[in-house]
Chains A and B, each alone.
Chain A
Amino acid sequence: AQKVTQAQTEISVVEKEDVTLDCVYETRDTTYYLFWYKQPPSGELVFLIRRNSFDEQNEISGRYSWNFQKSTSSFNFTITASQVVDSAVYFCALRKAAGNKLTFGGGTRVLVKP
């Protein structure tokens, strides 16, 4: 069975601080995909990134960066110089390569205060 754990339920920071969201996953599959989604107060899940299990390169997109470490089954997400608009719930998710459904973590609520 697959499992995704986001141990941090809520993180509060002051604007311009960096914030790192932890994601640890469990799977017996050798090929899989990892995702991060953002859910702002409006409620819609917004896709941020997809990562293949065979590609451990870290990725940076603007103020967002991701650190994938297969050895520790972790796919952590960092927001640099946070802004109020980053306030949202962030979900990490896992999908088998040949599967259909996403298995989500419990989400981490990020509050960025001005």
Chain B
Amino acid sequence: GAGVSQSPSNKVTEKGKDVELRCDPISGHTALYWYRQSLGQGLEFLIYFQGNSAPDKSGLPSDRFSAERTGGSVSTLTIQRTQQEDSAVYLCASSRRVAGTTDTQYFGPGTRLTVL
């Protein structure tokens, strides 16, 4: 079946502009995660959505970062007033989170963000 998809694959923006990154999870997966991969910080957790529960935003680096998940499926990660340190690959993952069991996160191809 189809995997996690992300768009755009590459995004170049100017410092101070807002950007939106999109993630389509695997069909039937209730949990969705955003991670960031940068040279200096490695792979970092950003935010987690599970069903209709309040998201776990503990990994968001600043209030310029926000994310939403509409209809329990597609998610958008928004970065406002981008800074050069926001340049990274943003990875989305999804999993079939079933209570009482473990799950595996499957990742999309990522969006490479470059802030000039």
Closest to A50 in B: B104
Residues on A with beta carbons closer than 8 Å to the beta carbon of B66: none
The count of chain B contact residues (Cβ–Cβ below 8 Å) is: 23
Residues on B with beta carbons closer than 8 Å to the beta carbon of A44: 107-110
Given contacts A101-B56, A102-B45, contact A47 B109 (CB under 8 A): no
Apart from A97-B102, A104-B42: 16 A-B pairs, beta carbons within 8 A? A33-B102, A43-B109, A43-B112, A44-B107, A44-B108, A44-B110, A46-B107, A50-B102, A52-B102, A91-B43, A101-B59, A102-B43, A102-B45, A104-B43, A106-B42, A107-B42
Report yes or no: A101 in contact with B42, Cβ–Cβ below 8 A. no
Report yes or no: B104 in contact with A101, Cβ–Cβ below 8 A. no
When the two chains form the complex, which single residue of B31, B35, B104, B109 contacts A35, counting CB atoms closer than 8 Å?
A: B104
Report yes or no: A43 in contact with B89, Cβ–Cβ below 8 A. yes
**Which A residues have a C-beta under 8 Å from some C-beta of B?**
33, 35, 37, 42-47, 50, 52, 91, 93, 97, 100-107
A37 to B42, CA, bound (A): 14
12 residue pairs A–B, Cβ–Cβ below 8 Å: A43-B109, A44-B109, A45-B93, A47-B104, A47-B105, A47-B107, A50-B102, A50-B104, A101-B48, A101-B56, A104-B42, A105-B42
**Closest-CB distance, A92 to chain B (whole angstroms):** 11
Report yes or no: A100 in contact with B48, Cβ–Cβ below 8 A. yes
Given contacts A101-B45, A101-B48, A104-B42, contact A42 B109 (CB under 8 A): yes
